[in-house]
Structure 1
Amino acid sequence: MAASGHNVAIISTDPAHSLGDALDIDLKGGSLVECPLIGVPPTEGSLSAMEIDPTEALSQFKGIVDQLIGAKSNGDSSAGGKGGMDFGNALSDLGEVFDTLPAGTDEVVALAKVIGLIRRGEFDRVVLDTAPTGHTLRMLSTPAFLSDLIERVLVIARKVNSNAAVKMFLNSAAGGEDLDAAGEAAKAALLSFQVQMYDLEDLFADVKQTEFLIVTVPTELAVRESVRLLNDLTFEAPDMPIKVRNVVANQVLNDDEDDVKSFLNRISDGQSSSIRELKMATESMSRRPEITEVPYLDTEPRGVFGLKALSEELLRENCASAL
């Protein structure tokens, strides 16, 4: 896309953080980094990349909530009589929600940055590299959940402001910190975030702007997982906003015997180089771990019998060294 003249941003919310490795650039800073288009003919397009840490993004979101409702205090909800008890119950309910957030919530929180990029209009193509299948499915329905959660937080904040005794208690526990100013700033941040969630939901639902691309490899287990994802998106949830237009099968071998032989030689050379690198990385360790090389099996290990065969290969060398 960049070679075709588009300004492209590729953003990863996958905790594995392999995007930087794939592009061979350092993306640890959490901000957009321009990628030189080496080997690409001169073009007016551009490519920028960013890795977002979902855990850090969710932690920042929780911090804003804490700031808004005064949960930085020692948690005592006894102030204010019945009103304080109601407030304490509300805090308890909210705490349970945060403890049981659905998988994919952290990634959706991180995607708020994507909405900011789109609003600025710097890029006409934004590519999201998401986490594995299950997270992705839940992620698609999470913006609405987070919008509702924010509404609950704002309701609790209004209860705090309307209860003079609770508010006085929290101000006292804050040790001189200006909770009113901090609360207003946090409220503005949450309202802005809520709007971003609405925008994200609308963006997911816009089939003219958004496409979901499934990438798989031609192995039985990978294809089964991808088919389940495709069915879930297409049949199980007909209201699922994102439509799938394309499925990419990666690493497909041609039927040509010479091509297959050449490919296998490249794979073997690459594996040998990687194993050497792995061994070198462990040589300087005081307690060097054992490296077990399991041969490539001619079929995928499935069922008890298949997994037993794999375990025998995996444990053979370790058992010998243990003896």
Structure 2
Amino acid sequence: MNTPEPTIQNILDSNTLRWIFVGGKGGVGKTTCSCSIAVQMAKVRERVLILSTDPAHNLSDAFDQKFSKNPTKVRGFNNLFAMEIDPNVNLGEFEEDLVGSEEAAVSADIRKTIGHLMTSFPGVDEYMSYTEVFRLVRNMDYSVVIFDTAPTGHTLRLLAFPEAMEKSLSKVVSMKNQFAPILNQLMGLVGMNSTQGGDLTNAIETRLPIVKEITKQFKDSTQTTFVCVCIPEFLSMYETERLVQVSYIFYFGTVLSSFVSNYVIYYYGLTTH
């Protein structure tokens, strides 16, 4: 019986994929695999971005080039860019992530209020990763984005974050009229008047369609795929199985498409193996 050739050709051949997540247990070679996929995608796509969401970044080591929170062209490529999300939350840098700099009517106080609300959320690392996705969807600068993710738990929370954000923002918008007096009182407690409170909810409402679009794309198997990386060792295989079960039930549906078993050497043509 002939062993099929291991390949990711199905990913390279897809013209509709926009988001490729590479995940798995810590230490199995996710960064190596994600960088390899990015290099191959750069051969068939116009503009490719590889983005590290792991607080312990390894992209700079993999490419032997220093990267930052801003997309930087990888040496030797004209269409491959890399960036590492800064795990340190800087309030001043993302006060406008949900509000947007173009809303001149929204005051600095409202921006600061939103920033403080977002930094108080559990899982702020996931939020920082999500804001980068938000910007990418809004700007549409790259034909495909590869995520070099943190270990399994962090990755699942990141992928669940858009839907959780959508539900939360939808709830705020739906409650705007029903609980307007209460909201006005709460706004007063943080030093905002009713007009500013209305600006706040309106700003959130204008961002809701983009949040919904991210959720939709993440659940669309023609636009999003997940590559599971593991090694032939019990704990890694066990966590990969758990990742598949949890993600299939709760997050992706049919988006899981490829598996990489790392640290495996194939002996082609040798009769002793």
Q: TM-score, with normalisation over the residues of structure 1?
A: 0.53
Superposed displacement of residue 191, structure 1: 3.4
Task: Measure the CA separation in 1 of the matches of 2:50 and 2:164.
Answer: 25
In structure 2, the CA distance between the partners of 1:193 and 1:61, relative to structure 1 (3 Å rule), is farther
In the other structure, the counterpart of 1:106 is 125
In the other structure, the counterpart of 1:7 is 47
Superposed displacement of residue 51, structure 1: 1.3
User: Is contact 2:229–2:261 with CA below 8 Å preserved after alignment?
Assistant: yes
In the other structure, the counterpart of 1:251 is 263
Q: Unpaired runs of 5+ in structure 2?
A: 1-40, 100-107
1:143 counterpart = 2:167? no
Q: Which has the higher contact order (CA 8 A, sep 6+)?
A: 2
**Residue 32 of structure 1 is aligned with which of 61, 68, 71?**
71
Superposed displacement of residue 248, structure 1: 0.7
Q: Which has the larger radius of gyration?
A: 1
In the other structure, the counterpart of 2:219 is 205
Query: 1:182-203 deviations in whole A, cap 9, x for unaligned?
Result: 6566545533543332111011
Task: Measure the CA separation in 2 of the matches of 1:242 and 1:56.
Answer: 33
Superposed displacement of residue 136, structure 1: 2.0
Instruction: Name the amino acid aligned to 2:86.
Output: D
Task: Measure the CA separation in 1 of the matches of 2:228 and 2:188.
Answer: 54
In the other structure, the counterpart of 2:141 is 122
User: Is contact 2:218–2:252 with CA below 8 Å preserved after alignment?
Assistant: no
Query: 1:27-83 deviations in whole A, cap 9, x for unaligned?
Result: 23x111111226xxxxxx6101111235527894699799449969xxxxxxxxxxx
Task: Measure the CA separation in 2 of the matches of 1:134 and 1:5.
Answer: 30
Instruction: Name the amino acid aligned to 1:146.
Output: M
**Residue 230 of structure 1 is aligned with which of 238, 244, 263?**
244
In the other structure, the counterpart of 2:79 is 46
Where do residues 174-185 of structure 1 align in structure 2 (5 Å cutoff)?
A: none
In structure 2, the CA distance between the partners of 1:220 and 1:99, relative to structure 1 (3 Å rule), is same
Task: Measure the CA separation in 2 of the matches of 1:230 and 1:36.
Answer: 35
Superposed displacement of residue 126, structure 1: 1.1
Q: TM-score, with normalisation over the residues of structure 2?
A: 0.61
User: Is contact 2:89–2:128 with CA below 8 Å preserved after alignment?
Assistant: no
Where do residues 1-323 of structure 1 align in structure 2 (5 Å cutoff)?
A: 1-28=41-68, 30-37=69-76, 46-54=79-87, 56=89, 60=94, 67-68=109-110, 101=122, 103=123, 106-151=125-170, 155=175, 158-159=180-181, 162-163=184-185, 170-171=190-191, 186-187=200-201, 189-234=203-248, 237=249, 240-241=252-253, 243-255=255-267
In structure 2, the CA distance between the partners of 1:159 and 1:223, relative to structure 1 (3 Å rule), is same
User: Is contact 1:67–1:186 with CA below 8 Å preserved after alignment?
Assistant: no
Task: Measure the CA separation in 2 of the matches of 1:54 and 1:188.
Answer: 29
